[in-house]
Each structure stands twice: as C-alpha cells, then as structure tokens.
Amino acid sequence: MAVQIFDSISIMPPKSDIYRRLGYVRESAVLKKDHIQKTDLYIEEAFEYIHLKGCALRVPAKNIEEGRTSLENGMSFTSRDLVTFLSGSSEVLIMGATAGQEIMNKINSFSQNNDLARSVVYDAAASEIVDTALTWMMNFFKRELIRLGLCLNQRRFSAGYGDFALENQRAICDVLEMKKIGVILTKEFLMVPEKSVTAISGIRAQAES
C-alpha cells in the first residue's frame, strides 16, 4: 500500500489535555477565572499557528516474535516491548504527524522575549494538538478497518519508549516519506519541526461474538 498523506487535519484543541500537561485541572475550583480566561486565550492563539499534517501506512506483518518485528515491506525492529505490544497483529499502522514550523517560531520568539507564560502554554498546546492528530488518523483508519472485519489497537507505541530505540525513527520517517509533510530528522534522530510525532499501532481480525 502507498503512504496516505493528510495535507490538512482539522480538530478542536483538546483543552483538558493541555491543562493536564500544564499541571492543572481546568475544572478545578483552585484556578481563578482570569487565569483560565488567559490560558484559554493563549491556547486559541497557539491554535492559529498550528498547521496539522499527517501521513500513514498500513503494512502486513511477516513475523512478530522473539524480540523482533519483521514486516512484509522489509522493515525490521528489534524490541521486546514492541513485540509484546503488537502480539496477535496481522498488520501494523505506521503514522506520523506535525504541527508545522510556524508554531515553533512563535514559541522560540516568546521565550527569547521573556514572555514565558505564553511560551509555556503554546508549547503544551502544540504537543497535545499534534498528539491528537494521531488519534484523528487512528479514528480515520478504524472506520475503514471495521468494514474489512479488522480492528485497530486502541493504543500506540513510539520510538524512544521502553526498549524501542529512538534510532528506529530513521526507518519510520523514511517509509512514511515525512519530508512530504515538512519533517526532517537530525543526526540525533530528533524530528524537525520539534512538534512532530510518529507512532505504530497493531491491526488484527475482529473478535468473533
């Protein structure tokens, strides 16, 4: 299958998740009204500078056992944690998303000008919003998979977690052709723009009722 590119992903800012990343509970009586209003304003501002794009690829699994995940397209990952996560999967869904460079320019500008409150909220908003883009893509594929009698794991797994080394980011970015959505990889395997993410999830047959 070919890589599917999503040139524009439309979601609403996940404000509750953003507040949690900031260390707050939005509905808490502890937060003053003016603090909530200002934070909400910064979140809405940040959202204007985020341009979500994504890419995804379904790949049949060849072998998932003994600490190694081998795929039909020739990709291979050494990770016992990933094997455990993908156990029972017949395919994998490989995904990538980015919030774009403009939001990072804003975050860096605010930081350099000592507007730390805005910088911190923009940073948290960008992190949660780009993660929500992965959820959006997963929901997109879930609808397609249901019609095929397949189901997608509710969770996802990313390079850098457990024993799934960050170095695997290279193969993931390459196979997803993430340059097409404006993402490149540094020699330390970090994505640029910084607010970019990749993840893998498992696909299996629906359980019989």
Note the pLDDT of residue 1. Answer: 74
Note the pLDDT of residue 209. Answer: 43
Note the pLDDT of residue 182. Answer: 97
Whose structure tokens read 């156990």?
87
Query: At 166, which CATH number?
Result: 3.40.109.40
Note the pLDDT of residue 28. Answer: 64
Q: CA–CA distance from 94 to each of 98, 121, 124, 177 (Å)?
A: 14, 29, 24, 11
Per-residue pLDDT of the chain (209 residues; tens, 9 = 90+): 799 999 999 999 999 999 999 988 766 656 788 888 999 999 999 999 999 999 999 999 999 999 999 999 999 999 999 999 999 999 999 999 999 999 999 999 999 999 999 999 999 999 999 999 999 999 999 999 999 999 999 999 999 999 999 999 999 999 999 999 999 999 999 999 999 999 999 999 987 54
Cα–Cα distance between 181 and 19 in angstroms, integer? 28
Alpha helices in 22-115 (DSSP H): 33-48, 80-86, 101-112
Q: Take residue 90 and report the two structure tokens written for it.
A: 């017949």
Which structural domain range is residue 201 located in? 4-205
Note the pLDDT of residue 27. Answer: 63
Q: How many folded domains does the chain comprise?
A: 1
